[in-house]
Amino acid sequence: MTRTRASFALVALAVVAAAAVVPFLPGGLPTPGHTAGEAGQERVVVPLLARDAPGEAIPTPDPPRATTSLDLINEARDTGKISADQATIYRFYAVFEDPRLPAAYRGDDTGVFDAPLLDEEFAAAPPATQDLLRPFMLRPDNPESWVNTTQAGYSEQALGEVTAAARPTGAWLSESGSLVRVWYPDWGAVPQTATLRAKALATVNETESLVWPKLKALLGREPPADCLLLCGDRGGDSLYDIYLVNIDRSATFREAPYLCTGVTSYILLNPTDKFSTLAHELMHSFQNAFPQLGGCDEYRWLKEATAQWAIDYVYGQTYNADEQIADWYLADPRISLEFKNDVREYGAYVFFFYLTRIGAAPPVIKAMWQAAASNSDSLKAVEDSIPDGFNKHFPEFARYNWNDTWSPLNRYRLLDALTDRVVPQHVTPVSIGGAPFKIYDMPDTPLKHLSSYYEDYSFGADVSTIAFFNGFTYDLTLEQMNDMKIFTQTELDGNAPNRKHGKVQALLKYAGKDWQVADWSDKPAVMFCRDDPNNRLERLVIIFSDSDYQRTSPPLQPGNLKAKLFTSSVGCWRWQGTATFTSSDNVYKITANVTWQATSINTGGPGVIPASAGTKYGALGQNFTPLQGTITWTASGTDGSGCTHSGSKTFQFLGQSTIFNFIFISNLVPEGEWINGYVGEGQIGSTKETVNCPGGDGPEDVIEPKWFWLVAGSETGLLHVSADGRKLTGSVGGNGDDRWTWNFTALK
């Protein structure tokens, strides 16, 4: 017995060392730190699917957006089928419904309402292309404009079919107020003229009573004067001009497309468009009052995003159907905020919706347009205008983009009835399926500046142990620790990009509880035990984000290993059952009936508080100590020296009074023979027995501590949890040696 105890103590000391550095989570389980190896592990990638997780449906993507004419043209340009110059020409044809657009590039333009900033593209085009496109850059009432030189302008009049013979002769009528003049073509004595006049009157009234005053009060400026010296063909007076024309996409055009500031502009408005489009286009006109040091194209994404935002600012929920195109951004948040493709920049309005409704207030929009005068980088202009910058607000924005029905992440719904929400890259139902464990890597790709990434997990009934190993804001590695391999996380310097701009947030749904929000950026690892009724995690969403606004910064990526979700079926809360001991000579017997309770994560050495750069964290598994139970000790029979022994005593288990009452289960080890291995000891106190030896003075009462142990694990072989993670069963010794037998079942 002495030999066995001494050799086992070496194992125990290696395993039990320093478990005090890990803070506890609700339910009695702590926050560990550990890492899974890249090699030999199972990576599970599950495609997007509709599946009910416990308590809530997993989100599915919105139906795909129709392929528009501009989509087809851009794809042909990007794949080299047509040149960039030809793409510019075709983009003009598509917006103005010019019959010269080849059929192969005519997509589904139903519901599109706004043209890209074509005047900027015109300014960048070569001279020959500008000559071809010049009619599109002239006001509709100019005799040389597209309206008067092609059939396209009125070949399909949205207010009613009109033949080419009935086209207007070039005469224009108008309705005006004190700020704007709305023009419409003179169709003569036909119903279209009366309809257009009514629309013109309504547009004047809406602009001057609501849209213009609200934007001016916010921005503190007005669109540049319509004619600074001579009015000429600029509408004939200083009133701002809006033209009602049959254009597929309404648009705002600058008189001097080569300039970004102080430029007279006018609006082409489809007569069937709602006033939401008016707010969007007029916001473009106001933007022209602000100098833009970086040039027109640099600020193009911000123009479209804040113009789309203006619909919400002016009208609230009145035109939600037109405003709420947040899915154009949320469909893939891995793309940087300022990306432009004729779609994304419009969807980016949702960032400014968050910013003005939750993170800050509408005046930040004015501040960023003012900052454009001194910033050649549009993102820097936004950064300088946001209180506490992107580092504070972009991770918060990424969190609110989840926009679930539950509080507190339902603000979009409450504020604007917005139901669009981000779609996670992976929706993963986790089931162990008889494997020792499963490990899920995340994120799959490096994170670019101002982007985010979402992983969504739901857990099956066979999942007990869950641990998140942070390889995003810590350096995650797989290291040899004593005679096993474990995950370790190393604290990064505070100026390291992943620590400075990276964020790890979690959304957690426990059984019977509301969703919770947590920030794990400063946690090397977090563990959950689903066997514990107070810690039964049903759903976990992990959000990674990069709040760096500098486009030249390299994407955030792991240093060694990716962040990991480690899952297993091994019991992690309580173990209940029996342990027995029989001495080699059958004199001493111990029977224990005990319930063990998880108490801590066994760190195996790494872990220092307070933390600093270079500090390592690691974990081997869990420690358990007695919650309740009894030990019955008996002495009976004759030993090898001929002495007879008798006596018995029942003890209450000694609980946490000594480290030698414990089980250690290596349920966090990803490689080697220690995977799901367990060891343990239990001691009893002083006992009285009667001993009668040959040649002695007769029976003698002996009272002394009896160091008998209930042991699992020794030099004779490491015991392992059963394949389903629910049994600790095994024997050590026997055949003329001391024998220990354990039989415990994990409780849920």
Residue 369: band (very low, low, confident or very high) from pLDDT cuts 50, 70, 90: very high
Nearest residue to 107 (alpha-carbon basis) of 50, 152, 57, 68? 68
pLDDT at 237: 74
- Cα distance between residue 320 and residue 326, in whole Å: 11
Please provide the DSSP assignment of 527-539 as one string: EEETTSTTS-EEE
Residue 597: pLDDT over 90: yes
SS (H, E, C) 301-325: HHHHHHHHHHHHHHHCCCCHHHHCC
4: left (phi over 0), alpha (psi -120 to 50) or beta: alpha
H helix or E strand, kind and range, residue 728: strand 727-733
Average pLDDT over residues 636-656: 85
- Cα distance between residue 88 and residue 131, in whole Å: 13
pLDDT at 141: 82
- Cα distance between residue 689 and residue 709, in whole Å: 17
Length of the chain: 748
pLDDT at 250: 85
- Cα distance between residue 304 and residue 337, in whole Å: 12
Specify burial of residue 143 (Cβ count, 10 A radius: 0-12, 13-18, 19+): exposed
- The structure tokens listed for 381 are 């202009």
Q: Are strands 451-459 and 426-430 parallel, antiparallel or unpaired?
A: parallel
* For the chain, domain boundaries: 2-22+572-747, 295-422, 424-568
Q: What is the Rg, in whole angstroms, of the alpha carbon atoms belonging to the chain?
A: 37
DSSP E strands in 572-714: the ranges are: 574-582, 588-602, 616-618, 621-638, 644-652, 662-665, 677-681, 686-692, 700-705
Residue 148: band (very low, low, confident or very high) from pLDDT cuts 50, 70, 90: confident
Name the range with the highest mean pLDDT among 45-54, 352-361, 423-432: 352-361
- Cα distance between residue 483 and residue 304, in whole Å: 60
pLDDT digits (tens, 9 = 90+) for 505-540: 999 999 999 999 999 999 999 999 999 998 899 999
Q: Are strands 662-665 and 621-638 parallel, antiparallel or unpaired?
A: antiparallel
CA angle 179, 184, 186 (to 5 degrees): 140
pLDDT at 391: 97
Give the rounded distance of the alpha carbon of 693 from its chain centre: 74
pLDDT at 22: 33
Among 147-156, 641-650, 689-698, which is the least confidently predicted range?
147-156
pLDDT above 70 as % of the chain: 82
Among 7-16, 283-292, 730-739, which is the least confidently predicted range?
7-16
Average pLDDT over residues 574-600: 91
If one counts every other C-beta atom within 10 angstroms of the C-beta of residue 657, the result is 12
pLDDT at 206: 98
Residue 170: band (very low, low, confident or very high) from pLDDT cuts 50, 70, 90: low
- Cα distance between residue 176 and residue 721, in whole Å: 84
H helix or E strand, kind and range, residue 559: none
Q: What is the DSSP secondary structure assignment for residue 717, as one 8-state letter?
A: B
pLDDT at 655: 56
- Cα distance between residue 569 and residue 546, in whole Å: 33
CATH 2.60.120 is held by the domain 424-568: yes
623, 664 Cβ separation under 8 angstroms: yes
pLDDT at 21: 29
Residue 551: pLDDT over 80: yes
Q: At what angle do helices 191-206 and 275-287 cross, to 10 degrees?
A: 60
Residue 342: pLDDT over 60: yes
What mean pLDDT is reported for the chain? Answer: 83
Q: What is the DSSP secondary structure assignment for residue 472, as one 8-state letter?
A: S
- Any bridge partners for residue 622, and if so which? 601, 665
Residue 479: pLDDT over 80: yes
Name 707's Cβ contacts closer than 8 Å, sequence gap at least 6.
5, 683
- Any bridge partners for residue 353, and if so which? none
If one counts every other C-beta atom within 10 angstroms of the C-beta of residue 120, the result is 19
pLDDT at 43: 29
651, 684 Cβ separation under 8 angstroms: yes
Average pLDDT over residues 292-301: 92
pLDDT at 97: 82
Residue 13: pLDDT over 90: no
Average pLDDT over residues 725-746: 88
Residue 709: pLDDT over 70: no
Residue 163: pLDDT over 60: no
Question: In the chain, how long is the greatest CA-to-CA distance?
Answer: 138
Residue 46: pLDDT over 70: no
Residue 52: pLDDT over 80: no
Residue 396: pLDDT over 80: yes
pLDDT at 712: 61
Residue 604: pLDDT over 70: no
pLDDT at 17: 29
Specify burial of residue 151 (Cβ count, 10 A radius: 0-12, 13-18, 19+): exposed
Residue 54: pLDDT over 60: no
Among 16-20, 243-247, 736-740, which is the least confidently predicted range?
16-20
Model pTM score? 0.85
Residue 241: band (very low, low, confident or very high) from pLDDT cuts 50, 70, 90: very high
SS (H, E, C) 97-155: CCCCCCHHHCCCCCCCCECCCHHHHHHHCCHHHHHHHHHHHCCCCCCCCHHHHCCHHHC
Residue 657: pLDDT over 90: no
Residue 424: band (very low, low, confident or very high) from pLDDT cuts 50, 70, 90: confident
H helix or E strand, kind and range, residue 743: strand 739-747
73, 109 Cβ separation under 8 angstroms: no
pLDDT at 429: 95
Name 546's Cβ contacts closer than 8 Å, sequence gap at least 6.
394, 447, 448, 449, 450, 451, 452, 501, 502, 503, 555, 556
pLDDT at 606: 42
